[in-house]
Amino acid sequence: MVALSELASVLRSKNAGALLCTLDLMFEDVATYERVRDSGVINPELIASLYHISQNEVSIIPYDVAMSIKVTVPRLVPSGSFGDTDVYGSQQHGPLLTIEIPD
């Protein structure tokens, strides 16, 4: 098993409007991208548990041409609202760092 943070060249998050956050997983080569994509580990059940949301609120889109996976989740607090601790959504990728991908 290898941590996703060791396989991805970029793991980042950002706002996708005031109500959504996008998590980008980008890889440097096709083999690594396909390993993660085909592992089945990155799935709505896991993402929902990490972000404390329901599975039907999770969107996972593999993008083969760019060797990347885009995950979209709702923000728990709208961007800029009272109680928002990350206006830009740039610190929301933390839970992805320790996801284990099988060899």
Please write the tens of the pLDDT for every residue from 58-97: 999 999 999 999 999 999 999 999 999 999 999 999 999 9
Question: What are the residue ranges spanned by the domains of the chain?
Answer: 2-76
**CATH class of segment(s) 2-76:** alpha beta
Q: For all residues of the chain together, what is the average pLDDT? A: 97
Confidence grade of residue 99 (pLDDT, cut at 50, 70, 90): very high
Q: Decide: 69 and 63 in contact? Cβ < 8 Å.
A: yes
User: For residues 9, 63, 65 and 30, what is the CA-based torsion angle, rounded to 10 degrees?
Assistant: 50
CB 18 within 8 A of CB 79: yes
- At a CB cut-off of 8 Å and minimum separation 6, what does 94 contact? none
